[in-house]
Structure 1
């Protein structure tokens, strides 16, 4: 008797470079949204265009460190540091306020990331 098995996940489509580019783009978009939320909460009315410059900076660090299998702890520290430098440069605030915006960006990213991951996990277990 033959048992037919249906795979739960489809095979990889496209090249590895496309997968890395897609990962970078989605992570950069997510980090841009959280950067804008953080800046709006701390600095009030800020242009959204700055967030779309801040987001790709830590996303690039994350993708490079993950792709080449480098130390994740160093990657996190570098991403947060470069995030702070980008925030300081773009928003033109004092170093102390830029550090606070960076801290809020990290907190918002963690909270929103946990919520989105939880929702996706919950949806993946829903009956079909």
Structure 2
């Protein structure tokens, strides 16, 4: 008789899924900020498509311990494909959109991480 134990799997699945969804939402929001900065008035709803595949690349790279530069290259390529699909941009404008998205994501992510560390180190 085959018995499957799903106890440990269930206890780790929800936090991983929540982290993935939060990271995908963060990347979608920063893609929206980048597009808004570069193109003007854009829809936030359309940029919800950008974050999930990039977050999946990050999770897969971490899971399978792939080299960071390969994951970054894949994420930038997927980001460029998403921006091209959403806005049909030329090469120069597409490169600018991807670069701005990368910079905004790094800066906002560093600020949020610093805020979490600062709040975590506050005296009780």
TM over 0.5: yes
The equivalent residue for 1:6 is none
The equivalent residue for 2:102 is 106
The equivalent residue for 1:82 is 78
CA distance in 1, matches of 2:87, 2:68: 28
Aligned length: 117
More moved, 16-25 vs 79-88: 16-25
> Over aligned residue pairs, what C-alpha RMSD do you find?
1.7
- Moved runs in structure 1, 4+ residues, more than 6 A? none
Instruction: Tell me by how many angstroms 1:22 deviates.
Output: 1.6
The equivalent residue for 1:122 is 118
TM norm structure 1:
0.85
Alignment of 1:1-128 (within 5 A): 14-128=10-124
Does structure 2 conserve the Cα–Cα contact (< 8 Å) formed by 1:20 and 1:63? no
CA distance in 1, matches of 2:64, 2:12: 13
CA distance in 2, matches of 1:46, 1:54: 14
Q: Deviations over 1:80-102 (max 9, x none)?
A: 11111111111122122111101
Q: Deviations over 1:47-69 (max 9, x none)?
A: 11121001112111001111121
Where structure 2 has 5 or more consecutive residues not aligned to the other structure, the ranges are 1-7
Which structure features the higher share of helix residues?
2
CA distance in 1, matches of 2:80, 2:119: 34
